Amino acid sequence: MLIGIVASIICYFAVNMKNRLGWDDALDVWGVHGVGGVVGVICLGVFADKMWNAQGGANGLLLGDSSFFFKEAAAVLGTAFYAFLFTYVMLWAINKVTRVKVTPGEEEMGLDEALHGEKAYV
């Protein structure tokens, strides 16, 4: 529960930072899932305890097992790199077929009018 509370507070500030910087993440995927996942995995590497899984578990950094913490950190870095690279390549490929992002003019006009030639809400 403590990890969830800490992650939710950090996610809140990550979403606010994303908004201040003007990043294009309409559904807050980075701020919630990305940052929350990283915080959860890193906290697991810090707080893990074999008491909960004596046969296959590991102790975290607080209980003296730095190797498990570094495995978790490497997993986070590898996953973040893979997710970034895959997303970048897929958006590039999709953009070759159809535009991924609307232009500022279309956004100002309203997407219903710009893309469909009609106003949905008057």
Supply the DSSP string of 5-73, one letter for each residue.
HHHHHHHHHHHHHHHHHT---TT-IIIIIIHHHHHHHHHHHHH--TTS-TTT----GGGT-HHHHHHHH
Confidence label for 108 from pLDDT (cuts 50, 70 and 90):
low
Would you say residue 122 has pLDDT above 70? no
| 121 within a domain of the structure (yes/no) | no
Phi and psi torsions of 120, nearest 5°: -80, -35
| 106 within a domain of the structure (yes/no) | yes
Mean pLDDT score across all residues of the chain: 89
User: Residue 118: its pLDDT value, please?
Assistant: 79
Phi and psi torsions of 118, nearest 5°: -145, 160
| 55 within a domain of the structure (yes/no) | yes
Give the domain range for residue 76.
2-116
| 29 within a domain of the structure (yes/no) | yes
Count of domains observed in the chain: 1
- pTM for the structure as a whole: 0.76
Whole-angstrom Cα distance, residue 52 to residue 44?
12
Would you say residue 119 has pLDDT above 80? no
Q: What is the mean pLDDT of residues 92-97?
A: 96
User: Residue 24: its pLDDT value, please?
Assistant: 83
| 122 within a domain of the structure (yes/no) | no
pLDDT, tens only, 29-75? 999 999 999 999 999 999 999 998 888 889 999 999 899 999 999 99
Whole-angstrom Cα distance, residue 119 to residue 23?
27
User: Residue 16: its pLDDT value, please?
Assistant: 96
| 73 within a domain of the structure (yes/no) | yes
